[in-house]
Structures are given as C-alpha cells and as structure tokens.
Amino acid sequence: MSASTESAPKRPHVVVVGGGFGGIAAVRKLKRADVDVTLIDRHNYNTFNPLLYQVATASLNPGDITWFLRAIRAKQSNVRFLKGTVTAMDPVAKTLSLDGGLDVKYDRLIIAVGVTANFFGIPGADEFSLPLYRRSQALAVRDRMFANLEDAAINGQDRDLRVVVVGGGATGVETAGAFAEMRNNDMPTTYPELDTKRVHITLVEMLPHVLGPFHPRLRDYARKSLEKRNVDLRLGTAVKEVREDGVLVEHDGKQEFLPAGIVVWASGITAHSTVKAWGVPQGRGGRIETDEHLRVKGLEDVYAIGDVSVSPEEPLPQLAQPAIQGGKHVAKVIKAELAGKSAPKPFKYKDKGTMATIGRSSAVAEIKFLPRLTGFPAWIIWVALHIATLLGNRNRFATLINLTAKYLVWGSHNAIVGETPPVVALKPLTVEARSPRKGVSRSARKTAEAQAAAAAKPPTS
C-alpha cells in the first residue's frame, strides 16, 4: 500500500495513542479545548482489564467489559478515531507512522499504550502460558478450560486436571479464586462425571505471601480465603520452565513438575516491544521516562501516561487511578500551554486505595479515609466500584446482571461459553441411562430399580 499523509488540521492537533484508562481520560478532559483530537488504538474497543478474569472464568460476556471507542464522539465532537498500530515516531517532523501506510502529524502527542505480559525470559512461558491482558486471551483461557473439561467428561479422568496460575498479585488471586469457586460450586452439578477432588487450582508465587502491595493483615486474610476454597498455594516458589503439559517449579532448592492443562500468566508486565522503535527514553520494564509533568524526557510536546510511563524520581503503581489522573493532568498542561498560561503544579498522584477480591463475599480493600476492610464490606465496595468504573451504561447494567446471577443465585450454575473443538473418544464408548439420584425419594428410587430389574429378566414360557 502506498503511503498517504494526513496534514495537520488548522486547530492544534492532539494525538492520543491508546484507548485505555489514561487515554480516554485525556481525551475527555480535552472536550472543551480549542483543539482537534485523534485517538489511535490497535483495537476499536476499550477493554476493562480488571474484569478480564471474569470473562476467562465464564462469568461475564466479553461485550460486558468492552466499549466501542468510536462511541466517544456521542458526547465529544472534537475527537475522531483511527484504528492502527504505531510503528515509528519522528519527533522532529512530529509525525507518527501507522501500519497500513498512514502517517499522522501532531502538535501534541500523548502516549498511553499500556503494557503487556513480562515473561522474564523463562523458557516456554511465552509459548505455552496464557496471559490476561486482552479480550482474546481471556476467551482463549475460557475455551481451553471447557475443552479440557468436555474431553475429560467423555474419556474419563485417567489423570488429575490442573490449572496453574502464575503470580500472586491481584489478577492472580482473583483468577485462582474464581476458578476454585467454579470447581467447588458449579462442577458437581454441571460435570457430574468428574471427581472435583482430582481438579486442582494451583497458585504459584515467588514471594512468601500473596498480594504484595497490601498490608500484612490483608495478605493473611487473602491467603486463608484461598485455602478455604482449596486453592493449592505454592508460595516462595519460582517457575523455572513452562511446558506444553505443565510447569516446572522450584521451592527451597527442590524442583517439581506440575502437570497442567492451562497455565495462566499473571506474574509481571513490561512495555510493548514496538515502543523500542519509537526512539523514546526507556527505564525499568521498558517504561517511558517522564518529568514532573509527565512529559517524555528529551522530547518536546510528547507526553506519556499510565502503565507505560515512569518518573525515575517517583515511580507510580501500575493501576487504573494513576493512568486516569495522569491523563487529566496532561490535558490540563496542554490547555494551559495553548492558552499561553503558566503550567499547573507538577503531577502528584492521589492514592485513593486499592482492592482485590477472592470470591463471593470475600475481598480486601485499602481505601483512603476508611479502615482496612475484609470480607463482605470490602466485596460490596469492590463490586460497586468496578461496575461504576465501566464505560457505558449498557456495560454497567449487563455486568451487574451477570455478577448478580453468579454471586447471589448459586443455583443457576450457568456459564457463558463459546465454541470448543469436537471431543474425540479415545476408545469406543456406550452411554447408558443412569439411576435416578438427586431429587428422587427413596421409595421412588427403589420402585424404579425394581422395575428396571424386572425388565431385564428374560420372559418365562
């Protein structure tokens, strides 16, 4: 495709790369500014990453946590959307090159591309594990889970089934807890052919505790809540290799191989590899180095916000709130510069707290101006905050309905499933009727058994 060039509009042109928390916050803050805004993302939807594990564990539809980025124009006429991936950046010419041959000129640039999984060079991790940073990855986890269960239901449990979750942060704890509740509460009804005692949920964490950033009391609560759900905790354990059929781990100098059908990677994050080609200064984890106003060091009119940015003097946690606050701050800086006003005060992150859920009525929360919370109060706040933070009322309503069905109506045992490959029987099988059990009275069951025995007798002459 021959390259085409898009000339800069008459008004100052602000380009935002990345439609995540920070990028959306910056775009919305520029709503009334005398600028034209272009939002660029490789997907045409925003993904609410904190709930991706709910898609992976069949509790939410992917559409519940994704929002059409072009819908942002419904309430903001000075923005338009371009789908594409930035392949190169020329800070002198103030031009971005996108895949497909499109060049985009900018007067101000905000980089908010987020991060991706960090495999730390562990052999096989990139090839055989499944991260949870994109919608497609969550669906891959969900579909493989049901494929493995359907296969075991037909061919029998000749071996134990195991899901390994690598990483004891919020994503890892929430994912392991959700898998465990599905096994404990749903599988006895939906997969009666399987012995749930031979279905293992294993959480591997290198540190001696889960939820490292939290207070020790909350860490201890989370650990006990996971153990209550029969999660196999492997703390102080390092992953040495990920294979197609499991994980090699090491604890106290002793190595052990854990056979597993699914390995979910929730252990670390790093900048996308494409950022290296942009010619920006990068620090630890490939994050772009910025100054006190989140301006990229050494580059004029270029800013970086959210997980992909880092201030060496004051590194921020890679959470939604720093990204949102950073996006708003950069928008204020740009508006002040274009209006000829003095810049606002340097960016200062206001920590509103953090939280994580382990399962139904079980969560931990550290929220400013509140005592440290555990259990049901923390869980209610977690549910309310995540629903309120979703983009779009339709997504909020759908998520509320689905989470209510999961957590408040245990008897439904419904799961949001997708396509799985056909199950191939490893040996010829004949399915026979099973004797009635649950929900049938003892006398009725005896009558049914007597009738079945009589029907089986040969006729007498």
Burial of 112 (0-12, 13-18, 19+ CB in 10 A): buried
Is 174 known to be catalytic? Answer: yes
- Of 174, 181, 205, 366, catalytic: 174
Backbone angles phi, psi at 130, to 5 degrees: -120, 110
CB-CB contact of 41 with 386 (8 Å): no
Whole-angstrom Cα distance, residue 334 to residue 80?
18
β-bridge partners, 309:
288
139 Cα distance to chain centroid: 11
CA distances from 204 to 72, 142, 333 (A): 40, 20, 43
Active-site positions read 174
